[in-house]
A and B are shown apart, each in its own frame.
Chain A
């Protein structure tokens, strides 16, 4: 006895419709669930959890998209934004000041030389200038002129463990942020000492700011106090509140 013949072509459209209906029913019940749980969708703990999982996924995709060779566009000096805006998590009148001559950068973690660094010592290393666009997570942008020591040069100078995952920055205005090792070694990631050819003014992070044109503004810390190379995920001021950690552009 031969098995009954099935008309595949005839069945396919029916199957498709069935799938579509089932999919719709599932999405409807999801919608129903969110209605039951109240109007404020974003207050729900499980929604919050799902969003942070998606944010981790976004971080991973951003790390995949990142290229060590691809450079941020550099501009002609005529394109520099005047005045370059001040931006921090506080008002400009609350800027904290330090004496440049007594300032030292603390160095810790997976490096062989942990001695602190003065501005004068940083100026003995090779310097690099860049006129690049600073892009804020809020959407505005401005073009600035920074120069200083490439972070990769400094890290190699202090004997960094290149297998380490993160570089963590702490600032004396209680800000903090951290980056991946690939970005730390990018040729345009610099420890900026100058803005517009002069020592960094207080508004732009005196005496040292980390300038990373391949990342959003909140990954560019000012008023640097310490640098740490680590394998423990360090987070950061805004990242701990919900900004995605990679923050690449």
Chain B
């Protein structure tokens, strides 16, 4: 993911659509050709990982059970709790804010991939480019989705650091031996 973002910034710099460029130090590839090579290499790897995730998510019921957005009432309640830093957080169970964010970022991920494909193959996948309003608009949406993903990554890491007990589970795929209690540290 970070490779995709860094190389994407390198490609962006070749012909910026906003009045700024990304500093060379945080881009990947060294020049446009290198950035493209990294971007496509990471694309195939991510595509493989994404495929595994979708198959696993559908087959295991993860999408159905854990991600289907909760009702608006519990979402408002949980946002309120999150802002007061009192949100209950139990390893292995997503609260309403998490559900909304994780589902949202899945939608963003799908849009990132589809706009990316539409600007890579505006002829072979012309219908997709047309769906996004043409090549130039698809390019802008691709950039906007990248910005949302970067925002999500920053927020995700910040929130995870506020509840350090979750880091164990995120990295190792199981909760820490004594983490069954609710934590809001």
What residues make up the interface of A, taking CB atoms closer than 8 Å to B?
16-17, 20-21, 24, 41-42, 50-52, 54-55, 57-58, 65-67, 70-73, 133, 135-141, 213-214, 238, 241-244, 248-249
Contact = CB atoms under 8 A, between A and B. Distances in A.
A65 B12 CA distance: 25
B29 to A, nearest CB: 6
Contact of B41 (A54, A67, A70): A54
A139 B139 contact: yes
* Interface SS of chain B: helix
B57 interface: no
Interface in B37-59: 37-38, 40-41, 44
Contacts of B139: 139
Interface in B93-150: 119-124, 126, 130, 135-136, 139
Contact of B30 (A42, A57, A137, A139): A42
B14 A51 contact: no
Contacts, number: 89
Contact of A65 (B15, B30, B32, B124): B124
Nearest to B45: A54
B105 to A, nearest CB: 20
B67 to A, nearest CB: 19
B44 A24 contact: no
Nearest to A133: B135
A141 B14 CA distance: 13
A58 B40 contact: yes
Contact of A54 (B33, B37, B136): B37
Nearest to B16: A139
Given A20-B173, A139-B11, A141-B135, A241 B33 contact: yes
A249 B126 CA distance: 9
A52 B37 contact: yes
Contacts of A71: 123
B171 interface: yes
B174 interface: yes
Contacts of B164: none
